[in-house]
A and B are shown apart, each in its own frame.
Chain A
Amino acid sequence: MPMVLLKCDSDIPERQKHIYLKGPNEDSTEFLPVANAPTIPGTLSERGCAFCGAKLVIGGVLKDTIQMIHGPLGCAYDTWHTKRYPTDNGHFNMKYVWSTDMKESHVVFGGEKRLEQSMHEAFDEMPEIKRMIVYTTCPTALIGDDVKAVARKVMKDRPDVDVFTVECPGFAGVSQSKGHHVLNIGWINEKVATLEPEITSEYTMNFIGDFNIQGDTQLLQTYWDRLGIQVIAHFTGNGTYDALRGMHRAQLNVVNCARSSGYIANELKKQYGIPRLDIDSWGFNYMAEGIRKICAFFGIEEKGEALIADEYTKWKPKLDWYKERLQGKKMAIWTGGPRLWHWTKSVEDDLGIQVVAMSSKFGHEEDFEKVIARGQEGTYYIDDGNELEFFEILDLVKPDVVFTGPRVGELIKKLHIPYVNGHGYHNGPYMGFEGFVNLARDTYNAVYNPLRHLAGVDIRDANPVALPVKIREAA
């Protein structure tokens, strides 16, 4: 089946190139949605900006780093209190945000002095913190402030601090994806190999593209500890600035989120010859496969098998309890990009769920190649979906649950469709074996939520239909 022109898109027919309905025996060599292309103004797209791709998604995760945002206060305010990435040091990264509070006079006369002063103040106010990332924003990029020069000056004045600069204003690129790229490339070129890590194991790796959403990183870390593998750097979940400077010493780069962080893995391969291994960390089959691959690389297969067997004994019965009750349920996934291809087959294989529609905010064509290869026939694959398209698709596929963000979740609640937070999770972590049981539990609770069924009841109706019964026994 070819590309789809939805009714709501009759006035913007170019949207047809972005929406694909997979037909029998088709693959992405025949049809591939156009992706990573500019959004049509006024369509109510879900996309964010390049600045947030750098600050909110990657840099702001670090647990020991001041995030200095050079611009008006809004860019700081908006990228604060919007993520669930805890740390093991009291969530410094979620508590604070810094702005140079740029005003009109700085637009006119330049904001470099303001930036320099704000940087010194931040280090003075928090003397225990010695690391900083400086971000430009739309206005500071437009007026051309030289933030690199300011950073050099501050580092000269304060020899014990280290500062990294990220220059990707919100208008750069077409989505947050641009910001991921800028930060990745900047870091490898400017900061990797500026500090030697302490090696404590004969097996070392970097774990790349995992941001410790509700403790994902910390859960997976228990596996690496049991396998005796040293993670030199987490890029960037529960991570530190200095650990990321030592990425060049790992023997292996394990990549979870290829979209946000594949760039740095590629560069580490190119510049330092470190092999890249992509894994999926969501789902039993995938997680086991990932652990097997990592262990095969280090020649510790037996340890890996023992870990997997332990975890299966502990968690598989719980997963299967949910699988029995979720079999045949229909799911839609509206998230950033990679979670489409991470999840579509894992929920199908591990939980018997059919993914009937997927929309990506910032995925590229290669993400769609992956998801179309893994996804089902009769499923919609949408690039940069917008609100009216969502309504139409929901009507076509009638999902039992949607994995998406809280705002869209609030919208579809009115349609009696439950959502599970596909960004920050409901009650995670969702990675690893235990995590996927959490995902299954949250999905079950959503699908069998009594309230949404009650919402469909009109109390004026004399003969209401029976409501489904939720089984509340422990899994």
Chain B
Amino acid sequence: MSDCNCEVAENKPAEVKLVPRERAGIINPMYDCQPAGAQYAGIGVKDCIPLVHGGQGCTMFVRLLFAQHFKENFDVASTSLHEDSAVFGGVKRVEQGVMVLAQRYPNLRVIPIITTCSTEIIGDDIEGTIRLCQRALAEAFPGRTIHLAPVHTPSFKGSHVSGYAECMKSMVKTIAKKGEPTGKLNVFPGWVNPGDVMLLKEYLSKMEVDATVFMDTEDFDSPMLPGKTIETHGRTTVEDIEDSANAIGSLSLARYESGSTTKLLADQFSVPDYPVDTPYGIANTDAMLRKISEITGKPIPESLVRERGIALDALADLAHMFFANKKVAIFGHPDLVFGLAKFCMEVELEPVLLLIGDDQGNKYKKDPRIAELKAAADFDIEIVHNADLWELETRIKKGLKLDLIMGHSKGRYVAIDANIPMVRVGFPTFDRAGLYRKPTMGYKGAMELAETIANTIFAHMEYTRNKEWILNTW
């Protein structure tokens, strides 16, 4: 294995510090802008085409990004804003866009209207326009309901993380309505891959819990069929969203991605809000399952006890032989990064550098997961908020020693140029095949992730001829 860090231990407590990016500008952004995240939430709904009110690039590139990650096409429309709208306002283009979509897509039931930096600066009145559109729709299509959700996502605020949360919240606010109690549990996993959605559905099914996952993105991995049908779209229906108001509770798995929606359901429809830490790693998954059991009264089944055991067995083979004292940098969505940091410590990896983007510095300070890391770490951790990928690159160039980088594909050249093994996690992961299908959450996800980490390190040992002979007898 790599060099042993056997210098005499300093007698000082581990330090966990939260620092901001000091530069004004960004070199290599970690996140896209708010409208991109809003589009990702929108495509999770069935019979829904988001309409982005802005320039055409705001849609075209985001569709390309989704296609890169999922190797699939998703439908998103643009109002194609031009100079005249910049001068005279662009609401007419929203009205026209809504009507054209309604005419040409007879099954369409939801259109989130997603604003951008330009249309927020112009000051287009989206709520007023929606009222006009609804009148025009009622006239042109009597008896047909199309939900129009206003999604205010100026690009000069937040990031694609907050944009995702905003669109989710707006769609629920627009569509949810009080009716008969369903006895079902709302599960909001945040911005995750279909692999995680499938894993959560499997766990809920094993626990015999009747639940709805928002958004159900299972079909983002869709088949080539003999009949040539195209099934690449979200599975969450209008009825699912309507009934989110009638659930027994909402399980929020992502503080920054789903927290605002479950809070809205609690405030507006009195649906109890159960936030838990994002279930990456064993302990976080334990906590989630216990919470589900507590809410529903359903016991945790033997099958999950066994799955947990198999995962622990696999992790134990890797942890102190291969992972112990390995220094790791993790970048990506905050809920992912904090969750994976805890997972790393379970398998004896040392997450010494965490990079989270966005301008939520004050919010991050209050995140209890930071205090938890402080309590648990016996090594120094630096958490950079408002980070870009240059923060990672320059630290490495200035001498930070890392054994592993975990993050999305936009950071690939940091790892390639520094010759550090990298495991792709999060969004987007376009430079590795099929990751969207694999779980990262839960026991199974923890096990598969650990094995991917191990195999990546093993391949690197062989490729760099660094004690590759250790594996001669493993």
* Residues of A that sit less than 8 Å from B by CB: 8, 11-12, 38-52, 68, 71-82, 95-104, 106-107, 114, 117-119, 121-122, 125, 137-139, 141-143, 169-175, 387-388, 405-408, 410-411, 413-416, 451-452, 455-458
Contact = CB atoms under 8 A, between A and B. Distances in A.
A82 B97 contact: no
A41 B96 contact: yes
A98 B28 CA distance: 6
A75 B99 CA distance: 28
A405 B258 CA distance: 33
A76 B413 CA distance: 17
B376 interface: no
B9 interface: no
Contacts of A52: 57, 60-61
A139 B97 contact: no
Given A76-B26, A82-B61, 11 more contacts: A39-B56, A51-B55, A73-B29, A74-B33, A95-B417, A98-B25, A100-B24, A101-B29, A171-B82, A407-B67, A414-B230
B121 A98 contact: no
A103 B35 CA distance: 15
A175 B225 CA distance: 35
B157 A104 contact: yes
Interface in B394-417: 394, 409-410, 413, 417
B35 A41 contact: no
A49 B118 CA distance: 13
B81 A171 contact: yes
A171 B32 contact: no
23 contacts: A38-B82, A39-B56, A42-B79, A44-B77, A49-B58, A71-B155, A74-B35, A74-B58, A77-B29, A80-B29, A82-B64, A95-B28, A98-B25, A99-B26, A102-B156, A122-B25, A125-B23, A125-B390, A142-B122, A171-B81, A171-B118, A172-B82, A415-B230
Interface stretch (B100-108, B171-179, B187-195, B329-337): B100-108
Contact of B224 (A169, A170, A455): A455
Nearest to A9: B104
Interface residues of B, number: 79
What 7 pairs between A and B have smallest CB-CB spacing?
A: A74-B33, A118-B25, A170-B55, A49-B57, A42-B97, A41-B97, A78-B61
B228 interface: yes
Given A38-B80, A82-B64, A171-B55, A455 B226 contact: yes
Given A103-B157, A169-B55, A388-B104, A405 B73 contact: no
Given A139-B155, A413-B224, A41 B94 contact: yes
Nearest to B222: A414
Interface in B341-389: 359
A411 B36 CA distance: 20
B94 A48 contact: no
B24 A406 contact: no
Contact of A121 (B24, B34, B72, B104): B24
Contacts of A74: 32-36, 58, 155, 160
Contact of A414 (B94, B121, B232): B232
B144 to A, nearest CB: 15
Given A8-B104, A42-B96, A106-B156, A407 B57 contact: no
B156 A103 contact: yes
A157 to B, nearest CB: 16
Contact of A96 (B27, B67, B93, B232): B27
Contacts of A122: 25, 27
B61 A44 contact: no
B65 interface: yes
B12 to A, nearest CB: 31
B409 A41 contact: no
Given A45-B78, A48-B57, A122-B27, A77 B83 contact: no
B28 A96 contact: yes
A355 B13 CA distance: 71
Interface string B57-76: 11011111101100111011
Contacts of B230: 411, 414-415
B24 A44 contact: no
Interface string B148-159: 000000111101
A93 B79 CA distance: 31
A48 B61 contact: yes
Contacts of B390: 125
Contacts of B32: 73-74, 77-78
A76 B94 CA distance: 26
B142 to A, nearest CB: 17
Interface of B: 23-29, 31-36, 49, 51, 54-58, 60-65, 67-68, 71-73, 75-83, 85-86, 93-94, 96-101, 103-104, 116-118, 121-122, 154-157, 159-160, 222, 224-226, 228-230, 232, 359, 390, 394, 409-410, 413, 417, 430
A122 B99 CA distance: 45
A101 B157 CA distance: 10
A342 B356 CA distance: 46
Nearest to B101: A42
Contacts of A407: 63-64, 67, 73
Nearest to B73: A411
Contacts of A172: 82-83
Contacts of B78: 39, 41-42, 45
Given A45-B80, A81-B430, A102-B156, A139 B55 contact: no
Nearest to A406: B67
Contacts of A175: 56
Nearest to B21: A101
A50 B58 CA distance: 11
Contact of B100 (A12, A107, A174, A413): A12
Given A42-B100, A51-B55, A410-B73, A72 B28 contact: no
A101 B24 contact: yes
A76 B82 contact: no
Nearest to B230: A414
B25 A11 contact: no
From B64, B79, B159, B409, residue with most partner A Cβ within 10 Å: B64
Nearest to B413: A95
B26 A78 contact: no
A138 B58 CA distance: 10
A103 B81 contact: no
A411 B229 CA distance: 11
From A107, A170, A458, residue with most partner B Cβ within 10 Å: A170
Nearest to A115: B25
Nearest to B119: A138
Nearest to B36: A74
Contacts of A106: 156
Contacts of A12: 100, 103-104
Given A74-B32, A455-B224, A79 B77 contact: no
A52 B58 CA distance: 10
A250 B75 CA distance: 47
Contact of B86 (A75, A171, A387): A171
Contacts of A415: 228, 230
Nearest to A97: B28
Nearest to A454: B224
B424 to A, nearest CB: 13
Nearest to A141: B86
Given A41-B94, A73-B29, A73-B32, A170 B156 contact: no
Given A104-B157, A125-B394, A416 B224 contact: yes
B82 A174 contact: yes
A407 B64 CA distance: 6
Contacts of B225: 414, 455
Contacts of A8: 104
B31 A48 contact: no
